[in-house]
Amino acid sequence: MGDWHSRPIEILWEELEAGPEGLTGRQADQRLERWGPNELEPPRRPGLLRRALALMKDPMILVLLGAAVLSLLASGGEDWLDAAIILVIVVVNNILSLSQEDHAQRALEALRRGASPTARAMRDNRQTRLESARLVPGDVILLEAGDQVPADCRLLTCAGLRCDESAMTGESQSVEKGPCGPLPADTAVGDRTNMVLSGTLVTAGRCTALVCATGMDTQMGAIARMLLDDKPQPTPLQRRMAEISKTLSFLCLCVCALMFGVGLLQGKEMLEMFLTAVSLAVAAIPEGLPATVTIVLTLGVQRMAGRGAIVKKLTAVETLGCAGVICSDKTGTLTQNRMTVQQLWVPAGGHRRDALLAGCLCSDARLEWRAGAPAAAGDPTETALVVAAAQEGVDQTKLEDQLPRVGELPFDSTRKRMSTFHTAPGGGVVMLVKGAPDVLLARCTYGPRGPLTQSDRDRVLAANEDMARRAMRVLAVARRELPRLPARLDGEQLEQELTFLGLFGMADPPRKEVARAVALCHAAGVRPVMITGDHRSTALAIARELDICRPGDLAVTGAELDFMPQSMLEEDIDRFSVFARVTPEHKMRIVRAWQKRGKVVAMTGDGVNDAPALKAADIGCAMGRSGTDVAKGAAEMVLTDDNFSTIVQAVEEGRGIYANIRKAIHYLLSCNIGELLTVFLATVLDLGQMPLVPVQLLWLNLVTDSLPALALGVEPVEEGVMDQPPRRADQGLFDRAFSLRLAWQGLMVGGLTLAAYFLGLRVLGRPGLEGETANTMAFATLTLSQLFHAFNVRSEDRSLFAQGVLSNPAMNRAFLTGLLLQLAVLLIPPLQGVFSVLPMDPAQWLAVGLLAAAPIPICELTKLRARRRAAGTAGTRPDPGREYAQV
């Protein structure tokens, strides 16, 4: 039941069968047996075997396993090397993935650790301190400043109680609480002032409270249940890999059918053609692709860790690259989560020191010095006043020795003010008062220059309105001299004839680096959106200052979302830049509405209330320093420096990683198409023998292909990658341009290989060994041409010479390693026998060298033609700036 705030306290006593004196030990034990401990349910995590089997369902892994089975069947079990290597690749790939995923399911464990403080409860008519896990509904507990609230409770009695609920609601200011009557049933969680919530913190005052809900029945439990119920969605990369697997599977079936049919038409034996077709289909599978992608992602994770972003799930790295929306919490993410005095206004003739003295002494916050800088512990508003005073040389600690406190009237919501009484050095008592400006001004008679005139009051109100318009929280301070401390401290009698001292305007300021990060988001086509539990006016002020909310953008509150159907939210989601006073359920709706519009959503946050949306988003980013363990456990990525700009750097890195994976896929598939065409055309043309033997194909796929593919994975991010709009989540890898490049470059590699084969067979072949010479030249040309072709794939449109031929050290090492390995195969006699090759003479080496290097000039000419065509098209387009100006 979640309506404890809306019911009369008498009804709650009756339903919970409890009273103000608390429970007996026997009653508590019975209820503990009935309702269970005040803990969150542990997650039911699948075992290692089940998680490993789940990874085996990946379409690319299934294709590889199918290739291994076909390889064994085709050879009758004799040629087991290819199948064994494929299985090793699958096992290594799964070990890498499982080691990363072990960090991704810690959210509920963190919740359980963070939700079990000790508590003081009334048991058997006396105070008892016990583990919060033993609290039950009906317990009466006592709380004071510094305590963590152990359960959802209805307030019974209070004295100046304020709670920090930022982790649950996103509210940056501490919330005043009080034992008022029933509230409306639809009151937002952040506005339930007669309740204290599990996991929040008491910052000031004390109270007694009735435990209403424990464990999974609390608001925190509801969040934990949302984490349990939320099912992970496949990442864009996983969808792309599934697409590649389907394409390759279809290609293999087509190749098998076509080869089988061609062989039968040529009158060849059925069994022979079946084995040939299967061998070719296995050759078409790039066995090293899954391992290459995993290693590229792992290297990306290491680079991002060096830039302040720890990634717990490999595929999350690439997901950032297509992020189209960043939904960010305000408090602690865009702002510093630290109330700060932004402006101090004093009336004419007044002194800043007088106002600062009143602000720091009329406060329960305590000044601390950390590394030579002032800090304070206590209520966020009061800490802001104490720190502001210390920054201007008004030290609270020293002043308390000169003006010791001898009495106080605590703040409460009815009076809207607080007063403290201090012994003055020359005798008498100084009363210092702080409170709401309108309330305090009405009780002021004097200003620094004498009696307050109406004109003086108008200036104070104008200054107050100016600060409030800028979403600041405004407090006024005043003082009064008394001859002695009254025997009875009566606020109504004493808080009169005050001397007005000044106004403090406070706010939780934006982080310094966020404005630039937001600007980079806009430039990259990424939409920043603020989602917060704070008030609309406060959220809008920050959003406008950071340029998150632009002209024409709208703000909406959680209460308004409650009346908005999900279909309407999905339709109008792009009109809203700010969502205020929202609950965790609202955050989930917002994330899913953007996802419904085809956007890849990144969600940043640091509070408990952010955890469900962090997990529901395509990529969840938690703050490492200020973030709760709950948020870190639910997120795929943790920003160790709490720097919003790290998100933008991660987006750039993600785009670069996706581009590099695309290059690796481009390289591997174009090379495999070349191999495929070589064998296929040789079969169709009935050349009498295959230009490549199975061991040569295995060498190509697992050694020569893989090294350059890995080097492409660490290619530096190309210039202008953040000037492009993000790609859509449903955008296919095999678009028309990509498919055409694969096709013609595969034809190029296959054509050059067949040219070498025909030269060896008809022109340069050794007498009597023409077939073996042709096979050797084809093998050498195919291997070396792929090594040269890897340099072409480094960019789809930029010239290799503009990039710098040797600008990627990893590619240089891969080329040299591949070259040395291939030369070893071609030149060392024992290896020549293993790979069925012959020594080549100078003429054959020259032919092989020219054909192998040919891909570079061919691709350079193609890129040059494409750039000229693009430049010509751009020159005929109207200037977009001029066109916009005309509109």
**Among residues 336, 367, 344, 335, which one has the least CA distance to residue 475?**
344
Would you say 82 and 282 are in contact if contact means Cβ atoms under 8 Å apart?
yes
Asked if 498 contacts 478 with a C-beta cutoff of 8 angstroms, the reply is yes
Contacts of 52 (CB under 8 A, 6+ apart): 94, 98
Cα–Cα distance measured from residue 260 to residue 683, given in angstroms and rounded to the nearest whole number:
10
How far is residue 372's CA from residue 349's CA, in Å, rounded to a whole number?
A: 33
Q: Which residues pair with 157 in a beta bridge?
A: 208
- Would you state the torsion angle of the CA atoms of residues 390, 394, 396, 399, taken in this order, to the nearest 10 degrees? 170
Token pair of 691, please? 């230009």
**Secondary structure letter of residue 257 according to DSSP:** H
List beta partners, residue 605: 622
Pairwise CA distance, residues 518 & 516, whole Å: 5
Q: Which residues contact 101 (CB under 8 A, 6 or more apart)?
A: 51, 313
Question: Which of 82, 329, 354, 642 is labelled catalytic?
Answer: 329
DSSP H or E run through 754: helix 736-758
**Residues forming beta bridges with residue 478, ordered by sequence position:** 433, 500
Q: In this structure, are residues 89 and 291 in contact, taking their beta carbons and an 8 Å threshold? A: yes
Name the nearest CA neighbour of 381 among 462, 474, 290. 474
Cβ-contact 193, 84 below 8 angstroms = no
- DSSP string for 566-628: HHHHHHHGGGEEEEES--HHHHHHHHHHHHHTT-EEEEEE-SGGGHHHHHHSSEEEEESSS--
φ and ψ at residue 505, rounded to 5 degrees: -105, 120
Beta bridge partners of 531: 329, 579
Instruction: Let me know: does 295 contact 568? Beta carbons within 8 Å.
Output: no
Residue 23, classed as helix, strand or coil, is strand
Tokens, residue 17: 């069968």
Residue type, 362: C
| Listed residue (382, 494, 363) closest to 429, CA to CA | 494
Chain centroid, CA 224 distance in Å: 19
Measured distance CA(676)–CA(679) in Å, rounded? 5
Distance CA 259, CA 680 (A): 7
Residue type, 554: L
- Spatial distance between the Cα atoms of 625 and 636, rounded to a whole number of angstroms: 16
List of long-range contacts for 466-471, beta carbons under 8 Å, 24+ apart:
467/342, 467/343, 467/345, 467/503, 467/505, 470/505, 470/507, 470/541, 471/507, 471/537, 471/538, 471/540, 471/541, 471/542
- Give the tokens for residue 303: 């680079």
Classify residue 718 by its DSSP letter.
P
| Catalytic residue check, 329 | yes
CA-CA distance, 748 to 179, in Å (whole number)?
80
Q: Which of 531, 499, 526 is nearest to 609 (CA)?
A: 531
Distance (Å, whole) CA 131 – CA 831: 72
Per DSSP, 421 falls in state E
**3-state SS assignment for residue 876:** helix
- 338, 327 Cβ separation under 8 angstroms: no
Which residues are catalytic, by number? Answer: 329
